[in-house]
Chains A and B, each alone.
Chain A
Amino acid sequence: MAPTPPKKKSRADENVPEAADLIKYYRDMLLIRRFEEKAGQMYGMGLIGGFCHLYIGQEAVVVGMQSTITPKDAVITSYRDHGHMLACGMEPGGVMAELTGRIGGYSKGKGGSMHMFSKEKNFYGGHGIVGAQVPLGTGIAFASKYRGETNVSLTYMGDGAVNQGQVYESFNMAQLWKLPVIFIIENNRYGMGTAIERASSTTDFYHRGAAHGIPGEAVDGMNVLSVRAAGLRAVEHARTKGPYILEMQTYRYRGHSMSDPAKYRQKEEVEKMRTQHDPIDSHAKFLLDGGFADEAALKAIDREVKDIATKAAEFAQNSPEPPVSELYTDVLVEAR
């Protein structure tokens, strides 16, 4: 009897995550959701100042991408960064305390919502200037290659950043030097209040590397498993061949920042995304339908992450303001 030919596995099959991982994605997305809701609430109470850009609606992007990398790989993004930090494993209390400007925050209260870092978790910010993180993330990949490593740099940007000149300067150098960087364009359809069609001559952003020969693909950014599948392809390419572009088609439910009433889009549009494409609801349905988890398990997760968000908020309110002695520290590294 002839041996049965090995069954050809599709790429997706090879990378089907374990049930525990599938549940973890749900938890991680929900944690970001609950954390951001809490941040929004605290902003309303005057506990968080300045700009505060919430990630609600886009959770599948960072959670899916984070599942494709190792702790040695680096992450850098713009100012809509809370979700990225939580996905990187940074302490919710430390993130929230930075939002409230307290000493317990990741930057001792001196950076705020848009400027947070964790060298320990390989999270390189948190950058407030649209597009500026793109050369920085390319440089992180440059350092990796310089040292003969294959660690990748996940360099996130929004759809608003893709028209910045320095993004193309980075694309060019990344491909020229075959740097291990993945440019992740989080296309949430609005650069602040301007719809992508009103800001960009072409809106198929995954093509934006074509002039430099960088492969790109459009991804359903509202589906954590689609993100993960594309992320795995991109990471493999980046480690061995050079840069890759992922356009994550996603949506933010809230305004650009807390002070944005979002009058530039129809309520129905937001409602449709929330009810039909919510990344957390749809993943919950996937878990239930597939028998990976039951209602009770998901409820327990919800209680757990709500509790984490509440504790983070408490920590952020109880942590003292930075002492005046911090005013002049960290301007320069003092001579050793």
Chain B
Amino acid sequence: MPINVLMPALSPTMTEGKIARWLKAEGDAVKSGQVLCEIETDKATMEVEAVDEGTLARILVPGGTEGVKVNAVIAVIAAEGESVSASAAAPAAAAVVAAAAAPAAPAIVASAAAPAADEPDMGETKTMTVREALRDGMAEEMRRDENVYLMGEEVAEYQGAYKVSQGLLQEFGARRVVDTPITEQGFAGLAVGAGFMGLRPIVEFMTWNFSMQAIDQIINSAAKTLYMSGGQMGCPIVFRGPNGAASRVAAQHSQCYASWYAHCPGLKVVSPWSAADHKGLIKAAIRDPNPVLILENEILYGTSGAVPVSADYVVPIGKAKIVRAGKDVTITAFSIMVGKALQAAEELAKIGIDAEVIDLRSIRPLDIDTIVASVKKTNRLVSCEEGWPFAGIGSELGMLMMEQCFDWLDAPVKRVHGLDIPLPYAANLEKLALPQADHIVSAAKAVLYKN
């Protein structure tokens, strides 16, 4: 039986990749452990080794092909004495062609809406990924201020665990792009101490999940010192990294920290969605004299949008953005949930419901005015977040609406959120546990009494 070689998934969030080049040619003998080809993902170039022995009978996807879907058949290995007929390979090849032609994964489609909602003052823009927008934002601020430096696990030599810091070591050197040991509490505290001295550290947590090791330093040392010192010394520091669920990494690596950190006075917490906002907000965060936490999202890193070229493009912290204007219901969201909210709004439009979608962007301080003004117009609010419901951002919004526009509400506020459980690993359960566009559609219909 000939063996199909499939396009491998080389990271939890990889859905497709590029076959950079083949190291074996058709007709070559292959042994297990030999490198067949190189594959470029959005994070790295990886070698794919043969698992089986035989002859590389056919290469179905030539080197240089982009957008090859995970699990597509890319080659066929024939066992000794076998020949591979053209007919056996044909269907597989066809499948690959179709996959290559397909648009990006559905979750990413929503980000295409970003340019439509651009704010007017962006000036000249360039399309780039969120990953690049973050990197460019950091690089610009590091050029601007010698006191700004980046530290974290794998930020330098490895170019970032998620390749966000790509190229920074080369430009700024090891003094300003510092690889740390795997000691979150230690390096978070060390950076806070450096911040006391007037440096402006950017601390990358490989993911926010690991910040729980460091939370004492973030809250007790970074957030509270300004107050406890009577204003003498604070800490101009940025903590950043991917937050929330990625894909199939289960409970310990899939948590949303928005409500955890937004709870604490002395911190600012932002969680952008569009590529432009990632750049504008990381620059604002670095320039801010206070501790600012940026809750990013791994799945968004590879999404693209129009990003201002200007090094002066700074998005003010504390300002939400109406990414879709509407009159029937207000939907608030942040980070990856904005994309899902926009998807939901498109669905709702098909049944005659005109939803207004607000990208909160900043969780603390929260742009209450923008939300309240919208709810006074639509009289209905659906809050979306990936995190747990108890004492979540949605809980806060519900209370705020009671306090600030109770008489304008025509329905109780509805929350869309992750299920109140540790995130399960199984694909089907994970999907059920995370809030989807469908849930937002249902919630919007519910507050409009249209179920």
Contacts and interface: CB of A to CB of B under 8 A. Distances in A.
Real binding pair:
yes
Interface of A: 74, 76, 105-111, 115-119, 124-129, 132, 134-144, 146, 153, 165-166, 169-170, 172-173, 176, 329-333, 336
- Interface size class of chain B, counting residues whose CB lies under 8 Å from the partner chain: 35 or more
Contacts of B191: 139
B216 interface: yes
Which secondary structure dominates chain A's binding surface?
Answer: mixed
B189 A119 contact: no
Contacts of B180: 173
A330 B192 contact: no
A110 B265 CA distance: 15
A117 B290 contact: no
A173 B197 contact: no
A139 B183 contact: no
Interface of B: 149, 175, 180-181, 183, 185-199, 216-217, 220-221, 225-234, 236, 265-266, 268, 289-290
Contacts of A153: 193
A170 B188 CA distance: 10
B196 A107 contact: no
B226 A139 contact: no
B211 to A, nearest CB: 14
Contacts of B186: 135, 138, 166, 169-170, 172-173
B193 A142 contact: yes
Contacts of A141: 193
22 contacts: A107-B230, A111-B228, A117-B225, A117-B229, A117-B233, A127-B220, A132-B189, A132-B220, A136-B221, A137-B193, A139-B195, A142-B194, A143-B194, A143-B199, A166-B185, A169-B181, A173-B180, A173-B181, A173-B183, A331-B265, A333-B226, A336-B289
Contacts of A74: 197
A129 B222 CA distance: 13
A153 B189 CA distance: 14
A135 B189 contact: yes
A91 to B, nearest CB: 14
Contact of A111 (B187, B195, B229): B229
A117 B234 CA distance: 11
Nearest to B183: A169
A66 to B, nearest CB: 19
Given A166-B186, A166-B189, A173-B181, A139 B228 contact: no
B290 A140 contact: no
Contacts of B265: 331
Contacts of A332: 226, 234, 266, 268, 290
Given A74-B197, A125-B229, A142-B193, 16 more contacts: A110-B228, A126-B228, A127-B220, A132-B220, A134-B189, A135-B186, A135-B189, A136-B192, A139-B189, A139-B197, A143-B193, A173-B190, A331-B226, A333-B234, A333-B236, A333-B289
